[in-house]
Amino acid sequence: MQNELKVTAIQSNLHWHDIDLNLKSFEEKMCQVETSDIIVLPEMFSTGFTMNPSEVAEGMSGKAIRWMKEQASKKNAALLGSLVIKEKGTFFNRAVFVFPDGKVETYDKRHSFSLAGEHEKYTSGNDRTIVTYRGWRICPLICYDLRFPVWSRFNDDYDVLIYMANWPKPRILAWDSLLRARAIENMSYCIGVNRVGKDANDYEYNGHTSAFDCLGEQIAMTEEGEEDFFTITLNVVEQNKVRERLNFLNDRDEFTIKLI
């Protein structure tokens, strides 16, 4: 296992339902990234947060996935982002983790954002995914999942939480607060990658893409409201030292999740 992991978080405006333009935009931004282990993009990075999946959905061999594989190979870095995926006649808001060698692992968003009707358009996932990459255990989650701490609860199974989002400006205080809370309660690095700009529904997004350490200290943040990125180096040895020294996780409750 490598002790350090470089993670790049890209905060960007998204072009509504324009897959080609979004892929071009992110490719240009990634040219500015010199060295990284993982590059993280926002939720539905190729389309924007849409409730019209039939207009933009792709399969797992579609254009966006092929592009992710090409970029992962080119940058020798994993790519992580959420896409609108159609599979077996249904739609998913799916996090796709692409390894540099083209291997793919996925996570389907568990908590659909009912306020926007996401639950009526997309099928929720039932399983949490832990990706092992370069020795690190990574838990990818999506936007509204952030509000539900049980789903992200640490069970000796990950080293870093990564949330991809389209989280609007009016509720950005919740985004900031909950990212910090997830880091503290799980004694884990926690990174949240959000978008900026306005979407076709005139919802405004101001970013606040951030990273927190296992004590809840903010260790990186993008420029508010601007297209921006950061690359941060995480250290699992230092995190484990803090976990062992304080032992808060030893006192956590055991429980079973009942899916409804």
- pLDDT at residue 258 greater than cutoff 90: no
- pLDDT at residue 1 greater than cutoff 80: no
**102-118 tens-digit pLDDT:** 999 999 999 999 999 99
Least confident of 19-23, 139-143, 209-213, 248-252: 248-252
- 143 is an active site residue: yes
Name all domains of the chain by residue range, CATH numbers in brackets. Answer: 4-251 (3.60.110.10)
- The reported pLDDT for the residue numbered 14 is 98
- pLDDT at residue 260 greater than cutoff 90: no
**69-127 tens-digit pLDDT:** 999 999 999 999 999 999 999 999 999 999 999 999 999 999 999 999 999 999 999 99
Q: Give this prediction's pTM.
A: 0.97
Q: Could you say which of 29, 43, 105, 118 is catalytic?
A: 43
> What value does the mean pLDDT of the chain take?
97
Q: Could you say which of 58, 75, 143, 214 is catalytic?
A: 143
Structure tokens at 7: 């993670």
Q: Could you say which of 109, 118, 139, 190 is catalytic?
A: 109
Q: What percent of the chain has pLDDT over 90?
A: 97
The residue assigned the tokens 């701490």 is 149
